[in-house]
A and B are shown apart, each in its own frame.
Chain A
Amino acid sequence: MELRSKEILNGMLLFSLVVAVIFGFIFEPGSEELKTAGPGILWILLVFSGNIGLARSFNREYENAMMQGLLLCPIDRSVIFPAKWIGNMIFISFELLILIPLLVILFDLPLGEHRLSLAAVLLLGVAGYSAVGTLFSTIAAHCRAREVMLPLLLFPVTVPILLAGVKASALMMTDAGLKEAVSWVKILAAVDVIFITASFLLYEHIVEE
């Protein structure tokens, strides 16, 4: 469904690119500062563009009353959350897949030796972020100020993901050693487990009409 709506994907990518360019103005390109801020920029882009994607995806569903349609479907309701969550995850990951090489080219961002682990950390972050995001975008879609509400709900709650993610990826990108990053990855995984379980359990209370 999402991949068909090119408009959202394009919007998200362009938005992330604009944010990246702004960071390019703030930090001297190729400077040490940019290199230390690199992992942070990566996660900020993830958070912001993910937020846009989540909001837009639900707005469309809301406007087309798609949720009612889903609820009328003869399927188990507990399937709706995992399906939407995985959908959002794929969507955000896909976007990162395009964005990260672009950042590497634009800013000469050193990804370091442990690229696979870095990808795994990002994926972990995306998993937790989109789990809570799926839950909250459904909540926010019913509110009056939809666009404002989602980041207000989502950003403070996802602080642990952001923090652990930034730390872990920063350690990986500077080759400081995987050992230190492991403890952060553990935190990230624990937070993920809690968020995903809680979102899964609570989702049914939100969709019942």
Chain B
Amino acid sequence: MKKSLVILAAFTYIGMTAALYAAFLYAPTERTMGEIQRIFYFHVPAAWVSFLAFAVVFVGGIAFLRTGKSHWDVLAYSAGEVGVFFLTLVLVTGPLWAKPVWNVFWTWDARLTTSLVLWLIFIAYLMLRSSLAGEKGARFAAVFGIIGFLDVPLVYMSIRWWRTLHPAPVLGGKSGSGLETPMLVTLMIALVGFTLLLILLLFINYKISRAEKDLELFEKEWRNGEI
């Protein structure tokens, strides 16, 4: 187990370093937006990775309800935490980019609003988890996580119909010709780096949650033994 963690960490390190290098040194400066465009190489991968994490919450929740095995629940919960972390990153980097480019920090565009609603849903998921311990909490959180994830396409669709300010905001480029090859390569490297980072964080978080659970059990037994 330890060895695989080290290997994974090493790959993540390489991937993230490559992403940093590519984003800051390899990728050309965008013509109209300038340097600020480089935030794109962190913003998009973070969004992609957070979505992946929430998919894990969904799958883990279903698996837990089906099998009742607690490691599925631990996995889902860890993924929820990591997903919220990445989505927070998305919601922070987005406005930073938008202020100079769109001239506003925030617009009520479909993607932005969907991300915000998604963030709220999974913050609620974490709150639910922290206010309900034990097997019951795990079950309830799984149910909520499933509904929350199912809700994502619904929210996106309805908001897209509601406000179609930017049908295809960033990707697709100005003239509709897509990204320049170096930019695309950079984005791909960043995507790989972030995905590795997600797996690593998930792995570590899973271990910690597992250990916490074991500790809790141990403490309970110990107390019962003492009294």
Shortest beta-carbon distance, B143 to chain A, in Å?
5
Verify if A55 is at the interface (C-beta below 8 Å from B): no
Which residues of the partner chain A approach B162 to less than 8 Å between Cβ atoms? 163, 167
* Complex interface: stretch among B90-98, B147-155, B171-179, B187-195: B147-155
Which residues of the partner chain A approach B158 to less than 8 Å between Cβ atoms? 159-160, 163-164, 187, 191
Task: Identify which of residues 93-122 in chain B touch chain A, using a CB-to-CB cut-off of 8 Å.
Answer: 117, 120-121
Which residues of the partner chain B approach A191 to less than 8 Å between Cβ atoms? 154, 158
B150-A205 in contact (CB<8A): no
Which residues of the partner chain A approach B155 to less than 8 Å between Cβ atoms? 159-160
Which of B128, B132, B161 makes the CB contact (< 8 A) with A187? B161
Which residues of the partner chain A approach B147 to less than 8 Å between Cβ atoms? 132, 135, 157, 195, 198-199, 202
Shortest beta-carbon distance, A134 to chain B, in Å?
12
Verify if A145 is at the interface (C-beta below 8 Å from B): yes
Verify if B52 is at the interface (C-beta below 8 Å from A): no
Which residues of the partner chain A approach B63 to less than 8 Å between Cβ atoms? none
Which residues of the partner chain A approach B157 to less than 8 Å between Cβ atoms? 160, 187
Quick one: CB contact mask for B22-37 with A, threshold 8 Å, 1 for yes? Answer: 0000000000000000
B128-A139 in contact (CB<8A): yes
Interface of A is mostly: helix
On whether A194 and B143 interact (CB within 8 A), knowing A143-B128, A143-B131, the answer reads: no
Specify which of B121, B144, B158 lies most central, judged by the most chain A CB atoms within 10 Å of its CB.
B158
Which residues of the partner chain A approach B9 to less than 8 Å between Cβ atoms? none
A interface, size bucket = 20 to 34
Shortest beta-carbon distance, B3 to chain A, in Å?
38
Which residues of the partner chain B approach A143 to less than 8 Å between Cβ atoms? 128, 131-132
Bound-complex Cα distance A132 to B74 (A): 25
Number of inter-chain CB pairs below 8 Å:
78
* Complex interface: stretch among A6-14, A72-80, A88-96, A148-156: A148-156
Verify if B146 is at the interface (C-beta below 8 Å from A): yes
Shortest beta-carbon distance, A100 to chain B, in Å?
24
On whether A139 and B144 interact (CB within 8 A), knowing A144-B131, A157-B151, A160-B154, the answer reads: yes
Bound-complex Cα distance A77 to B155 (A): 31
B151-A160 in contact (CB<8A): yes
Task: Identify which of residues 158-182 in chain A touch chain B, using a CB-to-CB cut-off of 8 Å.
Answer: 159-160, 163-164, 167
Shortest beta-carbon distance, A84 to chain B, in Å?
15
Verify if B140 is at the interface (C-beta below 8 Å from A): yes
Bound-complex Cα distance A155 to B143 (A): 16
Which B-chain residue is minimally distant from A208 (CB atoms)? B139
On whether A163 and B159 interact (CB within 8 A), knowing A144-B131, A145-B131, A156-B117, the answer reads: yes
Shortest beta-carbon distance, A128 to chain B, in Å?
10
Verify if B168 is at the interface (C-beta below 8 Å from A): no
Shortest beta-carbon distance, A92 to chain B, in Å?
19
Verify if B197 is at the interface (C-beta below 8 Å from A): no
Known: A136-B144, A159-B155; 10 extra A-B contacts, CB below 8 A, are A139-B140, A142-B140, A149-B127, A152-B124, A157-B147, A159-B159, A160-B157, A163-B159, A167-B161, A194-B154
Interface pairs (20), CB distance under 8 Å: A136-B144, A139-B143, A139-B144, A144-B132, A149-B127, A153-B124, A153-B128, A156-B117, A159-B155, A160-B158, A163-B162, A164-B158, A187-B158, A194-B150, A195-B147, A198-B146, A202-B146, A202-B147, A205-B142, A205-B143
